[in-house]
Amino acid sequence: MAEHWDLVVIGAGSGGLAASKRAAAHGARVALIEGDRVGGTCVIRGCVPKKLLVYGSAYRETLANAASFGWELREVRCHPAKLLASVRAEVDRLDALHVGFLEKAGVELMRGFAHFEDPHHLLVAGAGGEQRIEAERILIAVGGRPRRPLIPGAELAWVSDDLFLQEDLPASVLIVGAGFIACEFACILVGLGVQVTQLVRRDHLLAGFDRELSDAVREGMEELGVELLFGLEPMRIDGQPGDLTVVDSAGGSHPAAAVLMATGRDPNTQSLQLQVAGVHQEGARIPVDADQRTNVPHIYAVGDVTDRINLTPVAIDEGRAFADSVFGGKPRRTDHRLVASAVFSQPELASVGLSEEEAKRLHGESAIRVHRARFRSLALALPKRGPRCLLKLVVEAASDRVLGAHMVGEHSAEIIQMAAIALGMGATKADFDRTMGLHPSVAEEFVTMG
């Protein structure tokens, strides 16, 4: 006889953890199924370890600028192997921490990989064999996985997951892609002393972000030492690990010790056997309504598996909103309309609201005013080198309402997080203008620009 649960959550990533703990707090009997470590993409192989690598790699520029501030440095060496080991140790610590949080919350953690037997039953394959469980409600929160292009030799390349497993870094890496994962890893690797070439299919980086901002990131990345090649796609990879050659769509050859495919991610649904439960899919993604419900009334999905806004805070809020609505008697929905995002490239990019291009498309070019400030921050005034900051406000002319706030430069994400509050409250350009600046700071330009 199958064990019965009020809620079974498949996947212990950000959304699954948030939903399971909140549902348990509301009194539900909850089981959480995970076949890997606890924490999901963000904690194990994404945001957290990546940001630690960003911090580690940024020391190259800090040390290069030190002499301008009177610091005499003699021999300085980078040991990527030590950094990688330290990052893995921190991930292990966080994994254990999240397991402890589940225990305190009263959530049963089941180790194994689940698939549907029918709409209310799951089979969980773990170390002790296969277990059959029954659930009143099921939440799918299995996240995404890196996409590997279907080209000859693709199996020779890394995907983003693989980079975190490396004991050390090679002398050179060719990166395929132009999104935030590609750009972030390009800057990380260059900062850690790796020669980096980045192959970009389009004529610009970071599609979907404000074009002026993406151009500013490109300028900074090239100054950092990333070789960017535009209008090219990989056609095949030859050689063997440690000695690879990527042949591009123009017939060019690019040797590198390693190749990183950063060409997007897909919902991780391939092994769930969703068709057995009658859950509708669009490709690999699971479409849901505003209450996170699939076409099967008692089966829900949150996070990257729905392929809407694939960000950790969104998955967490979706998970909590689901639990509050279904088990807490407090119906609410996640608001996807104004979500801030960041690219932890070097220079950093952060954005909330409409880009200049989106605003003009939606409202008309004559209905939009754009205010911007471009300058080298005080932190780089003495070295007289390094990327310039770009701060930008997109404003609706008729109402004076700020539709978008965007920034490239130091502390962009920290600054835009606060700007997001203002935009969410409907702030106007006049509201920004009458706010006293905090001097000297980069952020003050948002309230002093003409």
Enumerate the β-bridge partners of residue 134.
4, 121
CA dist., res. 419 & res. 432, Å (int): 10
Secondary-structure breakdown of the chain: helix, strand, coil percentages, each rounded to the nearest 5: 35, 30, 35
Burial of 237 (0-12, 13-18, 19+ CB in 10 A): buried
Report the C-alpha dihedral over residues 268, 274, 280, 286, rounded to 10 degrees. -20
Are the CB atoms for 293 and 320 separated by under 8 Å? Answer: no
Q: One-letter amino acid identity for 375? A: F
Look up 121 and say whether it is catalytic: no
Q: Which of 79, 298, 363, 439 does the annotation list as catalytic?
A: 439
Is the backbone peptide bond immediately before 287 cis, with ω within 30 degrees of 0?
Answer: no
Q: One-letter amino acid identity for 98? A: H
Structure tokens at 16: 């699954």
**Beta-strand pair 299-301/129-140:** parallel
| Residue 380 phi, psi dihedral angles, 5° rounding | -110, 10
| Residue 158 phi, psi dihedral angles, 5° rounding | -80, 155
What Rg do the C-alpha atoms of the chain give, in angstroms?
Answer: 24
Residue matched to tokens 């809620």: 7
Phi-psi region of 213 (alpha: psi -120 to 50; beta: other; left: phi over 0): alpha
Give the residue among 183, 211, 214 at the shortest CA–CA distance from 198.
183
Structure tokens at 356: 């200049």
Helix (H, G, I), strand (E, B) or coil at 331: coil
Residues with a catalytic annotation lie at: 439
